[in-house]
Amino acid sequence: LPAGGAPLRLCSTREALDGVNKPVIDRVIRVDHAGEFGANRIYAGQMAVLGRSTAGPIIQQMWNQEKDHLKKFNELMVAYRVRPTVLLPFWNVAGFVLGAGTALLGKKGAMACTVAVEESISDHYNSQIRTLMQEDPEKYKELLQVIKQFRDDELEHHDIGLEHDAEAAPAYSVLKTAIQLGCKAAIFLSERI
């Protein structure tokens, strides 16, 4: 179950591939899988540093939702026969380093990272929703449902970060801008390779 949502059924492979725009679906699922994989690594890095602090339960709650997201995209990759990005080993390390590095700035640093990443991802999900709606909202109904639910979860994480003093992190504006530029680059590359 996605966090807070209804059960999402997994299409049969034949049903999933019937009449879809394969290049669009490949890009959507590949990049979303990479993003959820990276988010999991960011939260793993944050937990490695702040797991025993007062921020630990908050970070763990958000990480649990990201684990659900990654599980769903793993299933969708199989259903739609999409290969993962070849950059996963890089995102594995980069995500953990980003999470741990911002957590070393303290709870506010970790929350600033969360705000920056989740804002970028929710904007990206909104762009995908527009694309799939233009393609065929009925044909992509399941995928749209997944992306909308996960976007809402990411917006919730964004708001949690703000509620926990993200904007009070050292050099917040610079940190947020740098992380969001990294997210844009990661999205661009993961869609393509």
Tens of pLDDT, residue by residue over 106-158, are 999 999 999 999 999 999 999 999 999 999 999 999 999 999 999 999 999 99
**Which distant-in-sequence residues (6+ apart) come within 8 Å of 125 by Cβ?**
32, 147, 148, 150, 151, 154
- Cα distance between residue 77 and residue 128, in whole Å: 16
**Banded pLDDT at 17 (limits 50, 70, 90):** low
CATH architecture of 22-191: Up-down Bundle (1.20)
CB atoms < 10 A from the CB of 122, how many?
19
Q: Which residues contact 72 (CB under 8 A, 6 or more apart)?
A: 2, 8, 146, 150
Structure tokens at 131: 């694309």
Q: What is the reported pTM?
A: 0.89
Taking the C-alpha atoms of residue 124 and residue 149, their distance in angstroms, rounded to an integer, is 13
